[in-house]
Amino acid sequence: MQSYTVHTPPSPSQDERLSKAVFVRDGFHLVALIAPPLWLLWYRQWLGLALYIAALVLLDFATEIASFWALSIVNFLFGLGIALEASTLRRWRLNAKGWRLAGVVSAYDLEDAEERFFASLAEERKSANTPVRMTSGIPSIRAKSATPNIIGYQS
């Protein structure tokens, strides 16, 4: 299973935020390894692209000092670093634009992640309508059994 983080835009309406929610898969991104500039362009990572191009220009100047194979390995390592941290780069970008982390979901694919996230939201809304009883000033939802199933619990 894969984990996804769910991000919502800064919008006044909750329905509008949820309709524009973005699911970011955590993990390795093969496209970012094969073609880092294209991945950076696709996700509008302008600062990351500028830094990547600056690093390539520096590597081009280093061609006179090092061999072609050494520079190829360094270029591959840059791509590997971007591929490993691609999800983090997307989350940073969304956070910088004011998007908020709405949740984390474990799922088999994106469609399953969307189903699980929105089902959990529906469950939260449903449970918010359940009666709440007050016990010593602390609100608690009615339990199914009289004694909770907690290790070390003593009544």
Which among 2, 66, 62 has a CA at the least distance from the CA of 29?
A: 2
| pLDDT tens-digit series, residues 103-154 | 899 999 999 999 998 888 888 777 766 554 544 444 444 444 455 555 655 5
Task: Spell out the domain ranges in the chain.
Answer: 2-132
Buried b (16+ CB within 10 A) or exposed e, 62-75: eeeeeeeeebeeee
Look up the pTM and report it.
0.69
CA-CA distance, 139 to 33, in Å (whole number)? 50
Specify the pairing of strand 138-141 against strand 132-135: antiparallel
